Structure 1
Amino acid sequence: MRLPLAALLFAASAHAGPGDAERGRALMADRTRSLCLLCHSLTPAGDANQGNLAPPLSASAARLSPADLRERIADMRRFNPATVMPPFRSTEGLRDVAPAWAGKAALTEQQLDDLVAYLGTLAK
């Protein structure tokens, strides 16, 4: 499910603004909003309160550019159609969505930028 170049360029230009790492950290820690830590740990050492089903986020941030991180969080299905990672900025092709969430993306553009800014701090 690859988007045409025009759609990718429009999505890239639709960013809300520069990401804020502190807001991204708070969002990452909030299990009711981002859910990242259900599957990922922040570091390879892990944490009993973090997931171990997906790659550590610090490793992903170290090997991917901010734009690549953003694209993967927005909709990982473009890179791996069989992924279990939710498409945080897409509502296309979803099934069994609660009525309250129908047609709504899980994250705003600003929240996505904030998460990417925070992930950038983990790569250092």
Structure 2
Amino acid sequence: MRAWLALLLVAAAHAEPGDAQRGRALVADRTQSLCLLCHALNVAGDANQGNLAPPLDAIAARLSAKGLRDRIADMRRFHPATVMPPFRSTEGLRDVAPAWAGRAALTEQQLDDIVAYLGTLAK
């Protein structure tokens, strides 16, 4: 079974809804989710936020919760040459620190929390 299919099955079995406040904290945490290393929260940007990837403001107006979840889990499914790390997959990774070998960067709950927060960025 492909790793992404296994992730979808696990996600479907995961019943606790995401928490937007926890998701906000995760997005802001540069040691855990790393979102703001590449993304800014809005188009105006911020010196402490990234400009490598699209800004996150109004992301929920562009993508459904499932679309957000799928892209964060493993953007390679949409853009194979992406530099965005696969936060819920370990398939095909190389040069991984021993402490992270075989471990996904985010738990299912953390992913749900981030998606819940990004869902608040609809305007």
- Normalised to the residue count of structure 2, the TM-score between the two structures is 0.91
Which whole-Å CA distance do the structure 1 matches of 2:27 and 2:3 have between them? 30
Equivalent residues in 2 for 1:31-110, closer than 5 Å = 31-110=30-109
Could you tell me which runs of 5 or more consecutive residues in structure 1 were left unpaired when the two chains were aligned.
none
Instruction: Tell me the alpha carbon deviations over residues 46-73 of structure 1, each in whole angstroms, 9 at most, x when there is no partner.
Output: 1111000100112432200000000000
Instruction: Tell me the alpha carbon deviations over residues 59-100 of structure 1, each in whole angstroms, 9 at most, x when there is no partner.
Output: 432200000000000000000000000000000000000110
TM superposition shift of 1:16: 4.9
Question: Runs of 4+ in structure 1 displaced over 6 angstroms?
Answer: none
- Normalised to the residue count of structure 1, the TM-score between the two structures is 0.90
The percent identity for this pair of structures is 81
Deviates more, 1:33-42 or 1:5-14: 5-14
- One-letter amino acid of the structure 1 residue matched with residue 91 of structure 2: E
SS at match of 1:57: coil
TM superposition shift of 1:9: 4.9
Partner of 1:28: 27
Please, what is the CA RMSD of the aligned residues? Answer: 1.9
Could you tell me which runs of 5 or more consecutive residues in structure 2 were left unpaired when the two chains were aligned.
none
